[in-house]
Amino acid sequence: MNYWLAKSEPNTYSWDDFVKLGRDHWDGVRNYQARNNLKEMKVDDLVLFYHSVNEKSVVGIAKVVKEYYQDPTTDDERWVVVDLVPVQKLDKPVTLKEIKADERLGQIALVRHSRLSVMPMKKEEYDIIVSLGS
Q: Among 3.40.50.300, 3.10.590.10, 1.10.600.10, 3.90.1720.10, what is the CATH number of 3-132?
A: 3.10.590.10
Cβ–Cβ under 8 Å, residues 2 and 82: no
pTM, 2 dp: 0.96
Cβ neighbours for 105, distance < 8 A, ≥ 6 positions apart: 99, 111, 125, 128, 129
Cβ neighbours for 2, distance < 8 A, ≥ 6 positions apart: 40, 41, 42, 45, 46, 120
pLDDT of residue 82: 98
pLDDT of residue 59: 98
Domain boundaries, the chain: 3-132
Query: Model confidence over 105-116: pLDDT tens digits?
Result: 999 999 988 889
Confidence band for 47, pLDDT divided at 50, 70 and 90: very high
- 3-class DSSP state of 120: strand
C-alpha distances out from residue 15 to 24, 49, 67, 78, 85, Å: 11, 7, 21, 27, 11
Summary mean pLDDT of the chain = 96
Q: How far is CA 132 from the centre of its chain?
A: 17
pLDDT of residue 80: 98
- Residues 12, 106: Cα–Cα separation, whole Å: 29
pLDDT of residue 113: 86
For the chain, percent of residues with pLDDT exceeding 70: 100
Query: Model confidence over 76-94: pLDDT tens digits?
Result: 999 999 999 999 999 999 9
For the chain, percent of residues with pLDDT exceeding 90: 95
